[in-house]
């Protein structure tokens, strides 16, 4: 008889890990106990040596579906073996190791809601320890029912028996519920609740009639309509005042091949417990153009709650499932707000009485077999911790504030980083409130007191100002981190780089970030570790006439690019551009801004270059309806033409020659897609040629969510024997910024500044 003490670290709480250990110990006839504590799961087990060895193997191999084991350490144990194996109850006041992400309905629960003999037949809130809401319902720690919005529902005796039984799939499933004791559904129209014996069937019928329905989900309300009904889709756009931003879809897996290409790779992305929106190649003509105007991909997710499964079955068609909000406001989460905010947009509301505590947008992933990447990290992925590389465990705790667009924040301590769910644009007051609330909640969940607060160099960011206030209030050290340095560091951190990693090279292709020299940057070749960086090359500086206005109006960037390339005579060169430039007086105002540098900051922005090229090709509206719209259209038209084209002959980072080539193609009547493809090819060649012979190149920044450009760069570097490192689990855009800030600030706080910095 020997004993072993085992410590399991990772996502091991709230996922059925203790009952799994309990069952395994019983199978192998071990004695001992298992418990939760602040570090994860602790186990003491006694038995014969062979059984103990098998026990440790099977702990890893057969862990529950939502568990993620980051480390499993075993040490021999002396003393007398206890009799039997038990689950030690959690002690009051013992902090948990955190909260797991919300997870899509598991196969066992799906089988129950489809089985007429089951007591949960057609029950929309069925869940178990392998699936269901988590972060979306948490108000505080420890993660017990009393600290979730399920506290309003008292378990019936049948549910309570499941909850207490270690051999049951619902042992300690905090949101456990059934039709007798759990949340319920109902339907409302604008005037109030309406009689509907089966709310799901009533709503499905309305959707089939072309109506628009607000559907309360797990992390917020969606607006749903029949995705194949062009009139309904157009009406939804009209009512939502949403011109061009793509609508996400929800579809049964069997229906997806009719609307999009579904590779095995994409299928696996769709089926993961996070159930993200996956960007798939659209089948031309299968859906109304208004679903995703100007795009060649559509975002599709599988039903991820029992409610969604029931609704999709009853509707029988793919549904638009776009976030339920007005214009730029965040998705609404509570019933009264949904009635108010979505009045005039929704015809019906499918309501339920389980409170959504934390707003969680749907996550977005791009299906790219060479490089699948998370573009928005929210429901299903957050707040899973990222284990950081060697040397981080000893560093002081950092709260990193992120940026203002696609904002997230990050808590780093004890060798791991917890990046928050996507919160959104902090310029919107309600989003800013959510950001502050979420910071408070995460700090409480993780018992987190920062010694360092990390912010962007841009002092105009709301995130920077809030970080300055938090640092002042708590006495934490404030560390300012350059934007593109943070992008590069985030990629290194994601891939497990040690705190003392050697400097890495990286192209950070971005919209805009504050540079260390006071200019705006966004196309940088950096050489950086977690301490400091040097800047070796960048795309040329071009004025942004009107500042922020230039980010929304691509034609301003087009004028600035042409003016910079050709001087005041740019009009002669630009007669062929395929966009409607504004009136002469308006253009002269812009020219004067550029000439005098008044309200026309200089920016080395790859994002604005894409906007300008899209404008030249007639691919952008006068005013963008969302950031990245023009660049996404440019990518979409380039994709089919990319194999048949090569780059323009441009030596160095020479935008004038690039523009001359584009204008010559325009004058010759070349197809838009061909010019777009050549632009991508040329940019990749220019950037690769400007890179010295190095051992590896990081590729990040928002522009590199462009899969065509990422693939071309990857190929160019591969041809030179240079591997690339790209973000996968955290967005390349500002959604990943906080992670990089945290890593840099943690390491930087223990050093003296380097002389070459900035
Ligand atoms: Zn389940
Ligand atoms: Zn019940
Ligand atoms: Fe950025």
Residue 181 clears pLDDT 50, i.e. is over it: yes
Task: Please identify every residue whose CB atom is under 5 Å from ligand 3, which is an ion.
Answer: 510, 513, 734
Picking from 200, 239, 238, the residue whose alpha carbon sits closest to that of residue 319 is 200
Report pLDDT digits (tens) over 313-343.
Answer: 999 999 999 999 987 788 999 999 999 999 9
Residue 356 clears pLDDT 50, i.e. is over it: yes
Q: To the nearest whole percent, how much of the chain has pLDDT over 90?
A: 87
Q: Residue 168 C-alpha to ligand 1 middle, in angstroms?
A: 11
By the 8 A CB rule, do 395 and 432 touch?
Answer: no
Q: Residue 731 C-alpha to ligand 1 middle, in angstroms?
A: 29
By the 8 A CB rule, do 16 and 129 touch?
Answer: yes
By the 8 A CB rule, do 139 and 152 touch?
Answer: no
Report pLDDT digits (tens) over 218-253.
Answer: 999 999 999 999 999 999 999 998 878 999 999 999
For residues 73-80, give the mean pLDDT.
91
Residue 347 and residue 237 share a domain: yes
Task: Please give the biggest Cα pair distance in the chain.
Answer: 92
pLDDT for the residue 92: 58
Residue 662 and residue 557 share a domain: yes
Tell me how far apart the alpha carbons of residues 588 and 572 are, in angstroms, rounded to a whole number.
15
The H or E element that residue 608 is part of is helix 606-616
Give the ligand at the shortest distance from the Cα of 520.
3
Assess if residue 595 is contained within a domain: yes
* Domain boundary residue, one of 60, 93, 126: 93
Residue 88 and residue 220 share a domain: no
Residue 62 and residue 207 share a domain: no
Q: Residue 119 C-alpha to ligand 2 middle, in angstroms?
A: 9
Quote the domain boundaries for residue 627. 542-692
Assess if residue 233 is contained within a domain: yes
CA dihedral 341→342→343→348, nearest 10 degrees, is -150
Residue 342 and residue 220 share a domain: yes
Tell me how far apart the alpha carbons of residues 133 and 128 are, in angstroms, rounded to a whole number.
10
Give the ligand at the shortest distance from the Cα of 736.
3
pLDDT for the residue 717: 98
Assess if residue 319 is contained within a domain: yes
Residue 684 and residue 569 share a domain: yes
For residues 275-288, give the mean pLDDT.
97
Give the ligand at the shortest distance from the Cα of 129.
1
- The H helix count followed by the E strand count for the chain is 22, 29
Residue 199 and residue 75 share a domain: no
Assess if residue 612 is contained within a domain: yes
| Count of Cβ atoms closer than 10 Å to residue 719 Cβ | 9
Q: Residue 477 C-alpha to ligand 1 middle, in angstroms?
A: 44
Assess if residue 51 is contained within a domain: yes
- Provide Rg for the chain, Cα atoms: 27
Q: To the nearest whole percent, how much of the chain has pLDDT over 70?
A: 98
Q: What residues does 214 pair with on adjacent strands?
A: 223, 349
pLDDT for the residue 578: 83
Query: How many structural domains is the chain composed of?
Result: 3
Task: Please identify every residue whose CB atom is under 5 Å from ligand 2, which is an ion.
Answer: 156, 159, 178, 180-181
89's CB contacts (< 8 A; 6+ apart) are: none
Q: What angle do the packed helices 672-689 and 655-667 form, to 10 degrees?
A: 160
pLDDT for the residue 752: 47
Residue 70 and residue 206 share a domain: no
Domain harbouring 203, CATH code: 3.90.870.40
Tokens of 757: 């910095």
Q: Residue 336 C-alpha to ligand 1 middle, in angstroms?
A: 29
Give the ligand at the shortest distance from the Cα of 406.
3
pLDDT for the residue 93: 57
pLDDT for the residue 753: 47
pLDDT for the residue 13: 86
Residue 756 clears pLDDT 70, i.e. is over it: no
Q: Residue 130 C-alpha to ligand 1 middle, in angstroms?
A: 5
Q: Residue 125 C-alpha to ligand 2 middle, in angstroms?
A: 11
By the 8 A CB rule, do 206 and 347 touch?
Answer: yes
pLDDT for the residue 314: 98
Give the ligand at the shortest distance from the Cα of 702.
3
For residues 699-725, give the mean pLDDT.
97
Tell me how far apart the alpha carbons of residues 318 and 300 are, in angstroms, rounded to a whole number.
9
Q: Residue 627 C-alpha to ligand 3 middle, in angstroms?
A: 12
Give the ligand at the shortest distance from the Cα of 162.
2
Domain harbouring 27, CATH code: 3.30.70.100
pLDDT for the residue 94: 58
Residue 667 and residue 565 share a domain: yes
For residues 291-297, give the mean pLDDT.
95
DSSP 8-state assignment for residue 513 = E
Q: Residue 127 C-alpha to ligand 1 middle, in angstroms?
A: 4
Residue 672 and residue 566 share a domain: yes
Band of residue 758 on the pLDDT scale cut at 50, 70, 90: very low
Give the ligand at the shortest distance from the Cα of 156.
2
Q: Measured at the alpha carbon of residue 438, what is the angle toward residues 435 and 441, in degrees to the nearest 5?
A: 155
Assess if residue 431 is contained within a domain: no
Residue 345 and residue 196 share a domain: yes
Q: Measured at the alpha carbon of residue 182, what is the angle toward residues 178 and 185, in degrees to the nearest 5?
A: 105
- pTM of the complete model: 0.95
Q: Residue 459 C-alpha to ligand 3 middle, in angstroms?
A: 15
Q: Residue 86 C-alpha to ligand 2 middle, in angstroms?
A: 26
Compute the half-sphere exposure of residue 720: CA atoms within 13 Å on the CB side of its CA: 18
Tell me how far apart the alpha carbons of residues 330 and 361 are, in angstroms, rounded to a whole number.
9
* Domain boundary residue, one of 309, 326, 352: 352
Compute the mean pLDDT over every residue in the chain, rounded to the nearest whole number. Answer: 94
Give the ligand at the shortest distance from the Cα of 176.
2
Assess if residue 435 is contained within a domain: no
Report pLDDT digits (tens) over 406-429.
Answer: 999 999 999 999 999 999 999 999
Tell me how far apart the alpha carbons of residues 226 and 213 are, in angstroms, rounded to a whole number.
10
Domain harbouring 635, CATH code: 3.30.420.40
Q: Residue 443 C-alpha to ligand 2 middle, in angstroms?
A: 33
For residues 628-645, give the mean pLDDT.
95
* Domain boundary residue, one of 317, 352, 387: 352
Tell me how far apart the alpha carbons of residues 488 and 726 are, in angstroms, rounded to a whole number.
9
Residue 189 and residue 75 share a domain: no
Tell me how far apart the alpha carbons of residues 665 and 651 are, in angstroms, rounded to a whole number.
18
More confident position, 574 or 230: 230
pLDDT for the residue 141: 74
Tell me how far apart the alpha carbons of residues 564 and 595 are, in angstroms, rounded to a whole number.
10
Tell me how far apart the alpha carbons of residues 276 and 296 are, in angstroms, rounded to a whole number.
19
For residues 253-281, give the mean pLDDT.
97
Compute the half-sphere exposure of residue 480: CA atoms within 13 Å on the CB side of its CA: 14
By the 8 A CB rule, do 42 and 74 touch?
Answer: no
Residue ranges in 272-349 assigned as alpha helix (H): 306-315, 335-341
């Amino acid at each position: 008889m020997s004993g072993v003490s085992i410590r399991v670290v990772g996502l091991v709480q709230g996922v059925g890990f203790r009952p799994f250990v309990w069952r395994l110990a019983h199978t192998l006839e071990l004695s001992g106990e298992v418990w939760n504590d602040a570090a994860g799961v602790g186990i003491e087990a006694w038995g014969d040596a062979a059984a103990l060895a098998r026990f440790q193997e099977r702990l890893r191999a057969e862990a529950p579906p939502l568990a993620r084991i980051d480390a499993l350490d075993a040490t021999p144990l002396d003393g007398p073996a206890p009799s039997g194996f038990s689950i030690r109850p959690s002690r009051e006041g013992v902090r948990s190791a955190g909260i797991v992400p919300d997870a899509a309905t598991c196969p066992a629960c799906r089988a129950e809601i489809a089985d007429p003999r089951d007591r949960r037949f057609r029950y929309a809130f069925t869940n178990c320890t392998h699936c269901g809401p988590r972060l979306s319902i948490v108000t505080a720690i420890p993660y017990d029912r009393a600290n979730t919005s399920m506290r309003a529902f008292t378990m019936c005796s049948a549910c309570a028996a499941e909850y207490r039984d270690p051999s049951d799939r619902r042992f300690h499933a905090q949101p456990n519920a059934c039709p007798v004791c759990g949340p319920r559904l109902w339907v409302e129209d604008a005037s109030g609740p309406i009689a509907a014996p089966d709310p799901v069937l009533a709503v499905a019928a309305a959707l089939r009639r072309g109506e628009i329905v607000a559907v309360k989900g797990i992390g917020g309300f969606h607006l749903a309509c029949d995705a194949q009904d062009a009139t309904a889709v157009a009406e939804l756009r009209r009512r939502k005042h949403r011109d061009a931003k793509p609508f996400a879809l929800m579809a049964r897996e069997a229906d997806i091949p009719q609307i999009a290409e579904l590779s095995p790779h994409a299928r696996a992305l769709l089926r993961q417990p996070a159930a993200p929106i996956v960007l798939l190649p659209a089948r031309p003509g299968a859906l109304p153009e208004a679903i995703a105007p100007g795009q060649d991909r559509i975002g599709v997710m599988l039903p991820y709650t029992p409610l969604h499964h029931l609704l999709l079955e009853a509707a029988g068609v793919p549904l638009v499932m776009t976030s339920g909000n007005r214009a730029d406001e965040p998705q609404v989460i509570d019933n009264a707000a949904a009635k108010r905010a979505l009045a005039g947009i929704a015809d019906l509301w499918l309501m339920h009485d389980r409170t959504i505590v934390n707003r969680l947008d749907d996550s977005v992933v791009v299906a790219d077999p060479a490089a699948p990447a998370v573009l928005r990290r929210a429901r299903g992925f957050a707040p899973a911790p990222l284990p950081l590389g060697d040397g981080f465990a000893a560093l002081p705790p950092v709260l990193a504030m992120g940026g203002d667009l696609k904002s997230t924040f990050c808590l780093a301590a004890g060798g791991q980083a917890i990046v928050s769910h996507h919160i959104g644009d902090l310029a919107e007051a309600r989003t800013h409130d959510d950001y502050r609330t979420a910071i408070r909640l995460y700090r409480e969940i993780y018992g987190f007191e920062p010694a360092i607060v990390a912010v962007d160099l841009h002092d105009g960011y709301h995130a920077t100002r809030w970080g300055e206030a938090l640092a002042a209030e708590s006495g934490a050290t404030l560390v300012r981190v350059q934007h593109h340095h943070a992008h590069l560091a985030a990629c290194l951190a994601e891939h497990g780089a040690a705190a003392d990693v050697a400097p890495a090279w990286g192209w950070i292709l971005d919209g805009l970030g504050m540079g260390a020299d006071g200019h705006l940057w966004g196309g940088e070749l950096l050489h950086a570790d977690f301490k400091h960086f040097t800047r070796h090359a960048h795309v040329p500086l071009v004025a942004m006439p009107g500042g922020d206005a230039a980010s929304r109006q691509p034609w301003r960037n087009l004028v600035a690019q042409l003016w910079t390339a050709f001087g005041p005579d740019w009009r002669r060169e630009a007669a062929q551009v395929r966009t409607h430039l504004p009136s002469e007086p308006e253009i002269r105002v812009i020219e004067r801004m550029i000439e005098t540098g008044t309200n026309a900051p200089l920016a080395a922005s790859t994002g604005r270059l894409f906007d300008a090229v899209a404008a030249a090709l007639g691919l952008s509206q006068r005013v963008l309806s969302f950031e990245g719209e023009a660049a996404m259209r440019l990518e979409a038209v380039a994709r089919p033409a990319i194999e048949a084209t090569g780059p323009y002959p441009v030596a160095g980072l020479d935008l004038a020659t690039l523009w001359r080539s584009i204008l010559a193609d325009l004058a010759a009547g070349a197809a838009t897609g061909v010019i777009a493809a050549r632009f991508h090819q040329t940019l990749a060649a220019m950037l690769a040629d400007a890179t010295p012979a190095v051992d590896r190149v990081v590729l990040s920044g928002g522009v590199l969510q462009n899969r065509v450009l990422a693939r071309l760069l990857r190929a160019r570097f591969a041809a030179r024997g240079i591997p690339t490192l790209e973000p996968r689990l955290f967005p390349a855009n500002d959604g990943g910024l906080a992670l990089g800030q945290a890593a840099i600030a943690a390491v930087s706080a223990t050093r003296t500044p380097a002389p070459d910095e900035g």
